Amino acid sequence: MSPWVRIDGDELRVDAARIVWSPAVCASTDGIAFWLRASGTRSVVHIAGWAPGNQAADLDGVEVRIENSGPDAGVDGRFLSSALLRFGRVTSERAVVSIDGEIEALEPDDETRAVFAADLVCTIAPVAERDHCIGCGGPLDRFSETRDQFVAGFRISQRVLPVLCPPCVGNVEAPRFCPTCGSAFDADSILTHGEEGRTGYNARCPHGHVFSGALPS
């Protein structure tokens, strides 16, 4: 099938679609939080959500209704007021997702809604595990916390790891070790850039993992 997005009947081309996911608990039920993004010549779709399950393949045959999602679901810079996602032919690496929904108007006082529909073929990957301190390369498991947040109207709990272990906080001027595998970054692989008033970094380890971000303030 060829993926497509339609807004009020106008069909837009889709060049790529991707879902990343991570384990998350909602209302005491084990599940996965997911983030879908699709892009094309003039359309960008992003939708987050949650569904029961333990792995990506558990989404097969699942329907997820999104309501009151705020900025966690949108199309072309406009919020989705509601959407129904239907997952099919889901494996650990691929999924077909059909979406029907309504898009809010650009003006806040405009009550009109645009009809939105899409058929997408998405690649799937888990959120990268980053369990090594970027200051010393040591494991971060014992410093993990459980944090609550809202994702597209779902209140979820997730295990969160810090970027730096407590002994390295305030003592590291730049990332030194890969957070994914713990390998040391080569000095010439670390690039700097501005990030919201702070110094940001891009670094690639010898195994190809990439770190991008700023050090915690």
What does the pLDDT read at residue 213?
Answer: 83
Does the predicted model carry a pTM greater than 0.85?
no
110 & 25 share domain: yes
Last residue of a domain, one of 126, 155, 187: 126
Considering the domain boundaries, does residue 157 fall inside one?
Answer: no
Q: How many whole angstroms separate alpha carbon 69 and alpha carbon 47? A: 9
116 and 185 share a domain?
A: no
- How many domains, the chain? 2
Segments of the chain scoring below 70 in pLDDT: 1, 42-43, 194-198
Expressed as residue numbers, the domain containing 53 is: 4-126
Assess if residue 134 is contained within a domain. Answer: no
Q: What are the tens digits of pLDDT across the range 35-59?
A: 999 988 766 899 999 999 999 999 9
The pLDDT score that the predictor gives to residue 197 is: 57
> What tens digit of pLDDT does each residue of 143-171 get?
999 999 999 989 999 999 999 999 999 99
Say if CB 49 and CB 150 are below 8 A apart: no
Taken in order 24, 26, 31, 37, the sign of the CA dihedral is: negative
Q: Are residues 101 and 30 in the same domain?
A: yes
Read out DSSP for the chain? ---EEEETTEEEE--EEEEEEEEEEETTEEEEEEEEEEE-SS-EEEEEEEEE-SSGGGGTT-EEEEES-GGGEEETTEEEEEEEEEEES--SSEEEEEEEEEEE-SSTT---EEEEEEEEEEEEEEPPP--B-TTT--B-GGG-EEEEEEETTEEEEEEE--SS-GGGTTS-SS--B-TTT-PBPPGGGEEEEEETTEEEEEEE-TTS-EEEEE---
Spell out a b/e string for 7-28, using b for 16 or more CB atoms within 10 Å of the CB, else e.
Answer: beeeebebeebebbbebbbbee
Residues in the chain: 217
Q: Is residue 133 part of a domain?
A: no
Q: What is the pLDDT of residue 212?
A: 85
The pLDDT of residue 196: 54
Looking at the structure, tell me whether residues 97 and 202 fall in a common domain.
no
Q: Determine, yes or no, domain membership for 131.
A: no
- Domain contains 154: no
